[in-house]
């Protein structure tokens, strides 16, 4: 039986995800060999544990950015707002991965956060596991900040950027609308 990886990827795209940018400090092979802050867009970010505070994300081991993230002692996670689409696109594919020209905020850890992010997590690299053609990076959250006033999240669904629909929850489902009061 043949496994249709293209159809598999398409089916996985049916699961809407948020979008984040991971930043670290390191050199990317094939780019200027000096050490600088670099970034990569991911939609594989998730929480793992509250105690201890752990998060994880995945990176393709064939990525030119993989060695920098695998060797770095930590990384910063910026949860993107809808207005970050251009930054997300720039850091998603091949090409320049430096952060010059992007609005940034310094962090205590070192790698900067994207300005106006919905939330920021500064993480010490805890562990890395090989998983097929990707690696899973587990980080211990050292510091975090939430910026709810930054707006709606950037969402990725079926291979495209999108937004969350706001309004009444589906019939029969308890929930809150943006307009609901505390």
118: left (phi over 0), alpha (psi -120 to 50) or beta: alpha
pTM comes to 0.84
Task: Show me where the domains of the chain are located.
Answer: 7-159
Instruction: Specify whether the CB–CB gap between 34 and 84 falls below 8 A.
Output: no
Binned at pLDDT 50, 70 and 90, residue 10 comes out as confident
* CA distances from residue 20 to 43, 150, 181, 182 in whole angstroms, order as listed: 6, 14, 28, 28
The pLDDT tens digits of the residues spanning 22-61 come to 999 876 766 656 668 999 999 999 999 999 999 999 999 9
The CATH code that applies to domain 7-159 is: 2.30.110.10
Counting residues of the chain whose pLDDT is more than 90, the rounded percentage is 56
Model confidence at 180, in pLDDT bands (50, 70, 90)? very low
111 touches 25 (CB < 8 A): yes
**Residue 165 pLDDT more than 50?**
yes
Higher pLDDT, 24 or 150: 24
Q: Is the dihedral of CA 43, 108, 69, 94 positive or negative?
A: positive
Higher pLDDT, 77 or 100: 77
Region for residue 159 given its phi and psi (left: phi exceeds 0; alpha: psi -120 to 50; beta: otherwise):
left
Sign of CA dihedral 26, 30, 89, 138: negative
């Amino acid at each position: 039986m043949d496994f249709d990886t293209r159809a598999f990827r398409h089916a996985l795209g049916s699961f809407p995800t948020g979008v984040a940018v991971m930043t670290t400090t390191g050199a990317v092979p094939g780019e200027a060999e000096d050490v600088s802050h670099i970034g990569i867009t991911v939609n594989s970010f998730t929480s793992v544990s509250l105690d201890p505070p752990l998060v994880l994300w995945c990176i393709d081991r064939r990525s030119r950015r993989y060695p920098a993230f695998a060797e770095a002692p930590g990384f910063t996670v910026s949860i993107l707002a809808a207005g970050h689409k251009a930054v997300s696109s720039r850091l998603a594919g091949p090409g320049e991965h430096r952060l010059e020209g992007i609005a940034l905020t310094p962090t205590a850890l070192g790698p900067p956060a994207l300005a106006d992010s919905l939330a920021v997590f500064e993480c010490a690299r805890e562990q890395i596991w090989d998983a097929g053609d990707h690696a899973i990076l587990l980080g211990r959250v050292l510091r975090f900040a939430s910026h709810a006033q930054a707006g709606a999240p950037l969402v990725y669904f079926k291979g495209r950027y999108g937004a969350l629909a706001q309004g009444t929850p589906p019939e029969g489902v308890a929930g809150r609308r943006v307009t609901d009061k505390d």
